[in-house]
Structure 1
Amino acid sequence: MRCANPGTDVSKDRIVQIAVLKVFPDDSEVIKKRLINPTIPIPVEASNVHGIHDEDVVNEPTFQKIAQGLLDFIGDSDLAGYNSNKFDLPLLMTEFSRCEIDFNLEGRHTIDVQSIFFKMEPRTLKAAYKFYCGKDLVGAHDAENDICATYEVLKAQIERYENVAYEEQDGKIIYPVKNDLEILSKFTPSNLLDPTNKIIYDEQQREIFNFGKHQGKSLVEVFREDPSYYDWMMKKDFSIFTKKVIKRVWESIHPLSDLDY
């Protein structure tokens, strides 16, 4: 099973495309795939990923129209997908819930292929050292051993990938791994705005919330519409980095405020 959706919040998003591959006990397969009208605009950022635009789904049925047929096709099958436990299944269950259909997982086995991949092919320094350098990391978690191994891995990555193409989400082909600090830094960006990632930049370089009920909204928008949220955050146990950012933004729109922290 695989779903494509307009955004990143499975509690609010809608399915724009679904594909279900049904495998029977005799190993025969039946696949069903279709576009779905989400009834809300599809963000450009999402379209750049899955290639589906508003005009592609304007004449397609809504999920409510296909819900019962999809439920009948799935039947009592077990369910598998890639990152499905965190994405596809919650999204699918939410869509069924909007149609007042109780899509119950009780009695079903659920298999997340990504989880198997991540557990069996760990992305630890020890695993990276073995993969890139062909050696076992002796004395892992000793600071000196770890940093020396990290440097060896970096050199091996540059050697391996220096002329290897990388396709970005918008389809652009780049060669991002070079023996160049600026190029490598651009390919592995850090959120220097707020290291705890509570506040991040969006594509327009606006400060936006990356958590909670205002996730995805700009700080300026929230602090204008809900000034109490600033007071709440400043009184809570957020990092000094987060508070420094929100205070700067708050003071830019409320320079004469009595809320001084």
Structure 2
Amino acid sequence: MAKYIILDTETTGTDENDRVIQLGYMVLGAKDIEVHNEFCSSDVPINFAAMEVHGITPEMIQDKPACRDTSAYKRLLELNTPDNYMIIHNAPFDLKMLEKEGFDVQMKVIDTLRVAKHIFADEDAHRLQYFRYKMELYKEEQKEADALGIEVKAHDAIGDVLVLKLFLTKLREAVQEKFPGENPVEKMVDLTNTPILVKTFRFGKHKGKTLEEVAREDAGYLRWMLGNMENLDDDMRYSINYYLES
């Protein structure tokens, strides 16, 4: 039977050379819930910006095993089959970090950030902590944490996993409501891999305007973006082409 792995990492930073220093995840099966949460050592120093966010200091990981030597990582390898589901908020970041540890994901991936952008398109933000307060998940989390023996802290791997577990329930309900008759889990996998239609500019000279409006009034600018902005993400590129063609 399929298992659902809800995962988060904390890292030394966000650059190419940064590494995992905390691996936390829950495994949801038919009956039981496994909780894994381990700190890891790293040859890469923790940068101060990262330390400010997650509060992990060099002393906390001193003498800890490297990520791939932890029992949490070894168990994750055992779970890494196409029958199971990996659920992460902003999956590309964590998966890229795990790749540096030799982990090549074989599970079906649900990125709750991307799914939320599809389902809650008009929200001001799609960060996990935003939904924690917007959906009042914080009112439920302590009871859940006590049952699982987890301490809830923002920007802590296992604390964020617990919040994500609560958010996942709400997200699944919203997916089921929007796509009745479809399997909500498989639909979330599908939405993870579906381009997001960006409706409004959040930067540049057209900030605040809709892409549809700019396509009518300044299509040349959109074509310039396609040809000259190398860092244009796939969703924005898809959206520009969509509005130019329509």
Pairwise same-fold verdict (TM > 0.5): no
Give the shorter-chain TM-score range. 0.3 to 0.5
Higher relative contact order (CA 8 A, sep 6+): 2
TM-score, normalization: structure 2? 0.44
Highest Rg: 1 or 2?
1
Which of the pair is proportionally richer in helix? Answer: 2
